[in-house]
A = this chain, B = another copy of it.
């Protein structure tokens, strides 16, 4: 028997009733306060994708992080909000101690071949294998679950806070550690695998966390499968840090320049 990849173990759901299941956080994806948001996003997405009524690949995922998720068990419940010929809408909730700690809306779709146009273009970057990954050994949790190969905007840990804010833009190759073929679960997790922008820009460490995350999926499951475990290029940027909240926008690309996901999030910061 092959051991499950940590992402598959972390997002595993044990059925407990009609569209209800139990899950658990995992030290493999631990973060500062509660689990890595990407793992939570993947868990909630999994509930809908594995429902026998699911009509197709995910198109959009919004996760609201309503309260810190405590280490340990949680319950997940989901319902089909509405289904049509082309799209299907799901609502998912993660509950601990009787209270919703995270909620998600998910749109799945039956996509057919149409006119295709790709005005978005991947930045020109050196190939992943030429960019050394950050040394994350001993940092623990989700930081050890990815190779982070920064082309631009690497975190300046250990340096003094800069006199002027640094650029909010980061460009990096990302792949799962251990290696895992790309699918919608790992792509959902990757969409949150950028260090909170304020760390990069301001150079300070302070209480912070994602409040809401939206990811759009732009490729079929076949395209993701064809990528295998090859690194994905991620681009992250931000426009504003103001009165406790900052934005982030991201895009994720296969090495041959195919856009597989875009996303936005709002992150809270303390002061």
Q: Residues of A at under 8 Å CB distance from B?
A: 59-60, 62, 64, 66-67, 81-82, 84, 86-87, 89, 91, 93, 99-101, 103, 105, 107, 109, 111-120, 165, 167-168, 201-202, 211-212, 214, 216, 218-220, 237-245, 247, 249, 251, 259, 262, 264, 266, 268-271
Q: Is the CB of B81 within 8 A of A66?
A: yes
CA distance A112 to B243 in the complex (A): 5
Interface centre among A105, A116, A243 (most CB of B within 10 A): A243
Number of copies: 2
Tell me the interface secondary structure of chain A in the complex: strand
Q: Is the CB of A103 within 8 A of B100?
A: no
Interface centre among A118, A220, A237, A251 (most CB of B within 10 A): A118
| Residues in B neighbouring A118, C-beta threshold 8 A | 239-242
Whole-angstrom distance between the Cβ of A249 and the nearest chain B Cβ: 7
Whole-angstrom distance between the Cβ of A197 and the nearest chain B Cβ: 9
| Residues in B neighbouring A107, C-beta threshold 8 A | 64, 211-212, 266
Interface centre among A81, A100, A241, A242 (most CB of B within 10 A): A242
28 A-B pairs with C-beta separation under 8 A: A59-B245, A60-B64, A62-B212, A64-B105, A64-B107, A66-B89, A67-B82, A67-B84, A91-B91, A105-B105, A109-B244, A111-B243, A112-B243, A114-B270, A114-B271, A116-B242, A117-B201, A117-B240, A118-B242, A119-B237, A119-B238, A119-B240, A214-B214, A219-B242, A239-B262, A240-B262, A247-B262, A264-B264
Closest to A88 in B: B66
Closest to A219 in B: B242
Whole-angstrom distance between the Cβ of A13 and the nearest chain B Cβ: 20
Q: Is the CB of B62 within 8 A of A111?
A: no
Whole-angstrom distance between the Cβ of A171 and the nearest chain B Cβ: 15
Interface centre among A84, A113, A114, A201 (most CB of B within 10 A): A114
Whole-angstrom distance between the Cβ of A152 and the nearest chain B Cβ: 14
| Residues in B neighbouring A87, C-beta threshold 8 A | 66, 211, 268
Closest to A268 in B: B86
Closest to A214 in B: B214
Whole-angstrom distance between the Cβ of A137 and the nearest chain B Cβ: 32
